Structure 1
Amino acid sequence: MSGEGTDLAEGEVLDFFTSLSNWGRWGDDDRLGTLNLITDEVRAAAAASIRTGRAVSLSRDIDPRAPDPLASGNSVVQRFTGTNEVEEHFGRPLRFDAVTEFVGIAAHGSNTHVDGLAHYSWDGRNYNGFPASETTSLGGARRLSVHHAAHGFLTRGVLLDIAALHGVDWLERGQPVTPDDLTAAERRQGVTVRPGDALLVHTGNVARILHEGPDAVGPAARQAGLHASCLPFLRERDVAVLGNDGVQDVQPSGYGPDLTRPVHTVGLVALGLWLIDNMELTELAAVCRGEHRWEFFFAALPWRMVGVTSSAGNPVAIF
């Protein structure tokens, strides 16, 4: 199955910016993109699917002592301060003590994080045609900030276990996931991706890197992931959120430097598709197998930070 459909020419991928575009679909000033597909009805139906209440975290610890376990360039700084001001106010030592801290984090990187719609641009434009110049180092993301996702990602989640489809714990580094893989996993698992879903794709990528170590840094690293040919599947199924135990894209992508990460670029810019990178899906896959269920209530709540392109987070699946 893998390899089928990966002969897509670069020009055909470039055509996706037009043929798969959601620009204007929800209005010329829309800032939510595919989150518009998570309607009240979709949320209610997803919540009604909860049976046992079993919860599974889909993230890992963010540890300042190991800030970049996947060699994705993450940086975490933590500093603690005391409460001397309280003692100074009362003029004597106090029996209680408290600690506060400062935590600095670059959200894009090894930790599980949401990619907002201002994260990538193409030819100077972000999703819905907003100028990329509206996102600056001083002003932040003024048009497509993550804070617009204030209602969170509360919807039906579906896990497609591509590693299990191939009978392995993890795919080979650089192995592409194709549309045929996605539909074969649906058939194998007896589940169908629907409009408004959070689609999670298990390749075993994060588990492999944590077990064996990374082979390079950033875009130079070979990783399993979705091939660009999966983009029409994501648009046709009206996926609201795409999550992956990696950076979504297979690396190398098979295309030139402009399309180093075509799922990121076309997904964010043309589809307005929100992404969650570097998820922890190993436990979820095991629970899905044990429960004989590949759908669940999915909850991810990005921070309401104004002017940012990303948010760390702890997505959760509830059965």
Structure 2
Amino acid sequence: MVAEPNNWGRFGPDDQRGTLNLLTPEVVLGALASATSGRVLSLAMPIRGATSSPAPTTVPHLRGRPLPQHFMSVDGGDYAAGARPVGAGLRVADDALIVTHHGTTTHMDALCHMWSGDELYNGHPAARVRSYGATRCGIEQVGGVVARGVLFDVPRHLGLDHLPAGHRISPDELAGPALRPGDVAVIRTGWPAVWQRSREEYWSGQPGLSADAGRWLAERDVCAVAADNAAIGGLNAGQLADEALEDDLHLILLHRHGIHLIEMLWLEELSASGRDEFVFVAAPLLIEGGTGSPINPLAIL
């Protein structure tokens, strides 16, 4: 059992969903009131092309990570062997396979994604995580997320286009509507926009939440934390976190509090809308035992 304040046992000894349990029917119905115009924005990065083309490299990603791979077949050719019968004059293009990796596309982390010692969130044995999948706390436990989203537009609050690479967001900088249990906290750093200017600058580090800000969000019972950076917390030039284990954001949020993480969002249109409260919708793929899944999060304004 972890010593720091946590949610282990709070939702029962067998719980694998963490603070998503706070999304009761009443909370979901209350969240729907956050939509006032009906405008829908996608908060996802695109997945472009196959690795045989330069297209995937044009989307922000961490250096050295496998790029998203999108394979297609046309009339059964190019990727899949053989062709399936089609009517006269008809041609068929199929998505044969999509492979993604943490750090290269918009995704949601499962509670089995990171841990310390021999136990996952809630004391589930870490030995249950194997190359064939995790039999505890996999991404399939999420189902769907429909919640009130609250945008913390930190650079706009500070009068900046984006935060500097070394900036670590403090609780005092999380200015926005008061959080309610079951909310999704959406953090904008503005860092993905740096990619348009310089890939080397993008890879020089990344701003993100401080450990104190992560604990502050956990204390307010958010059901998920979403951000436009690659790791929720900040990264150094080696694309690693500098914090000690007790202050690692993934361990604080995923491992100790059962708060799912959503990374690599595109938040520029949401920021431009001026809205800091909206309906947040996301559903990961039902990958049994998956440590995460690509998603297309939506903001309904």
Same fold (TM over 0.5): yes
Amino acid paired to 2:197: H
Q: In the TM superposition, what whole-angstrom CA distance separates every residue of 1:181-207 from its partner, at most 9, and x where no partner exists?
A: 11xx13xxxx11111000001111111
One of 40, 44, 50 as aligned partner of 1:59: 44
Q: Give 1:282's aligned residue.
A: 268
Q: 1:255 to 1:95 in 2, by over 3 A?
A: closer
SS at match of 1:18: coil
Any unmatched runs of 5+ in structure 2? Answer: 77-81
Residue 233 of structure 2 is aligned to residue 249 of structure 1:
yes
Give the superposition deviation at 1:215.
4.2
Q: 1:78 to 1:279 in 2, by over 3 A?
A: closer
Q: Give 1:116's aligned residue.
A: 110
Q: Give the TM-score of the pair, scaled to structure 1.
A: 0.83
Q: 1:274 to 1:210 in 2, by over 3 A?
A: farther
Q: 1:303 to 1:32 in 2, by over 3 A?
A: same
Q: In the TM superposition, what whole-angstrom CA distance separates every residue of 1:51-98 from its partner, at most 9, and x where no partner exists?
A: 2101111012111343353342142223333245444xx9xx832121
Matches of residues 64-213 of structure 1 in structure 2 within 5 Å?
64=49, 65-68=54-57, 69-72=59-62, 73-81=65-73, 82-83=75-76, 85-87=83-85, 94-137=88-131, 139-150=132-143, 152-182=144-174, 185-186=175-176, 191-213=177-199
Residue 47 of structure 2 is aligned to residue 48 of structure 1:
no
Q: In the TM superposition, what whole-angstrom CA distance separates every residue of 1:235-281 from its partner, at most 9, and x where no partner exists?
A: 2110111001102102245434x46x711122110001100001101
1:21·1:271 contact (CA, 8 Å) conserved in 2?
yes
Give the superposition deviation at 1:168.
0.4
Any unmatched runs of 5+ in structure 1? Answer: 1-14
2:192·2:228 contact (CA, 8 Å) conserved in 1?
yes
Aligned length: 283
Q: 1:315 to 1:216 in 2, by over 3 A?
A: closer
Q: Give 2:211's aligned residue.
A: 228
Give the superposition deviation at 1:99.
2.1
Q: Give 2:278's aligned residue.
A: 296
Q: Give 2:255's aligned residue.
A: 269
Amino acid paired to 2:138: S
Amino acid paired to 1:99: A
Q: Give the TM-score of the pair, scaled to structure 2.
A: 0.87
Amino acid paired to 1:251: L
In 2, the alpha carbon distance for the partners of 1:214 and 1:264 equals: 25
In 2, the alpha carbon distance for the partners of 1:171 and 1:144 equals: 33
Structure whose residues are more often helix by fraction: 1
Identity across matched positions, percent: 33
